[in-house]
Amino acid sequence: MKKSLLVVLLVLVALVVVADRAVEQVAEGVVSRQLEPELGTRPTVEIGGFPFLTQALRGRYDRIDVSAGDVTRGDVTVQDFTATLTGTRVPMSDVLAGSIEEVPVDRLRGGALVPYSALTRRGVQVEPAGDRVRLSGTLSVLGQTVDASGLADVAVDGQDLVLTAREVTAAGVTATGPLADALLPLLTVRYRVPELPYGLQLRDVDVEPGGVRVGGTASDVLLRR
């Protein structure tokens, strides 16, 4: 009898796990379709938390991770767009029926990679240098042409990404005085980050091997199809 009961319990647990995963896949598909119009591509969606059914029954999901790859805004493409949604509300009946016009989200945090090629300005090249970037180029200054480079801090100013050179070398020698004063503005880059999905407001930046990752947040977002 005990062995039979154990078998029944194991079967029930297996059925619950299968059902849990099945409903989760349906919900992930629904959220992915809601995100597609804004992103221009259907993203990969993963709903966190187990068991999933408890979240589905209350119609509120604690955490949803989104990955969309490249996202194009105008003539600019940012890479590796990712987002985390918290406090997403979708009634289970709507999920199963597939009749969803909008999905409220309490908070959305997202980011994307701006490749270094997009940051090139006036022939000034950008490459990573630890937690800073190096700006370099052949520049005309004070009536002469010099190969100059400088380490730059990276910061956010509104929707702009600002690369500000702090130390400059010209022809391999540290520039000082009037030459440094003339070179520093030329080795400062201001880049307007294209409008990110869902009205994300830039908050932070991080230097990576492939580019500068920008991150932002948005609150009380409605995902509409």
Chain segment 177-191, per-residue pLDDT in tens: 888 888 888 888 899
Say if residue 96's pLDDT is above 80.
no
Closest CA to 209 of 133, 155, 144: 133
User: What is the C-alpha to C-alpha distance for residues 95 and 16, in angstroms, rounded to an integer?
Assistant: 18
User: For position 115, what pLDDT does the model report?
Assistant: 92
Say if residue 162's pLDDT is above 90.
yes
Least confident of 24-28, 82-86, 112-116: 24-28
User: For position 38, what pLDDT does the model report?
Assistant: 82
Say if residue 133's pLDDT is above 90.
yes
User: For position 50, what pLDDT does the model report?
Assistant: 64
Say if residue 92's pLDDT is above 90.
no
User: For position 15, what pLDDT does the model report?
Assistant: 36
Residues contacting residue 83 through CB under 8 Å, at least 6 positions apart: 65, 66, 68, 108, 109, 110, 111, 197, 198
The mean predicted confidence, pLDDT, of the chain is: 81
Tokens representing residue 146 in the block: 């010099």
User: For position 97, what pLDDT does the model report?
Assistant: 65
User: For position 82, what pLDDT does the model report?
Assistant: 93
Tokens representing residue 18 in the block: 């299968």
pLDDT (mean) for 156-174: 88
pLDDT (mean) for 61-77: 83
- Find out whether 181 and 164 touch, Cβ atoms under 8 Å: no
User: What is the C-alpha to C-alpha distance for residues 7 and 3, in angstroms, rounded to an integer?
Assistant: 6
Backbone dihedral angles phi then psi of residue 94, each to the nearest 5 degrees:
-70, -35
Q: Which helix (H) or strand (E) holds 137?
A: strand 132-141
**Percent of the residues in the chain that have a pLDDT greater than 90, as a whole number:** 26
What's the whole-model pTM score?
A: 0.78
Q: Which helix (H) or strand (E) holds 58?
A: helix 52-58
Instruction: pLDDT band for 84, please (50, 70, 90 cuts).
Output: very high
